[in-house]
Copies of this chain bind each other. A is one copy, B any other.
Amino acid sequence: MSDSGDVFEIHLRWGDMDALGHINNVQIARLFEQARVECFNRWFGNARRGIHLLVARQEIEYVSILHYSTDPVRIVCSISAVGRSSFEFGYELLDPKGTVCALAETTVVIMTAEGKPAPIPDEVRTILADHRGGPVPFRRRRGATD
């Protein structure tokens, strides 16, 4: 997956660390949020006008501890699935040395102004198709504890 997809450099903050001395799990969700916001801005620009997006689900796999660094992490973003009114946004977070530290997938639902799910507009569907990548290479899955 890291071979394809749009790459965003996201800067860590010292304050992203928690009492364990490494980047906090919740702050990793913050880094993914930032990559998603920047990615949507890049992809949709004007096409996003009047379209409301809702985060309906998010799954993060924490693969390797992320240490604070003044060098930015890289987050690789692509579309991992497209449905009728929702799509899956996949990401891979690599530390400055290139180690995959976290994987994530976010289910994004297209909403009407009234707050109901709406079919993905053709203009958006085309953009999503242009950025289609493979499935997020999760190793773990729900309920399959070992």
Residues of A within 8 A of B (CB): 10-11, 13-15, 17-19, 21, 24-26, 29-30, 33-34, 37-38, 41, 54-62, 68, 70, 80-88, 105, 107, 135, 138, 140-143, 145-146
Contacts and interface: CB of A to CB of B under 8 A. Distances in A.
B15 A145 contact: no
* CB-based closest 4 A-B pairs: A83-B145, A17-B19, A59-B59, A14-B37
Nearest to A52: B20
Contact of A34 (B13, B38, B41, B82): B13
Nearest to A117: B146
Contacts of A140: 56-57, 107
Contact of A30 (B10, B13, B60, B68): B13
A59 B82 CA distance: 19
Copies assembled: 4
A142 B37 CA distance: 21
A15 B15 contact: no
Contacts of A25: 29, 33, 55, 58
Central interface residue in A13, A21, A145, by most chain B CB within 10 Å: A145
A94 to B, nearest CB: 17
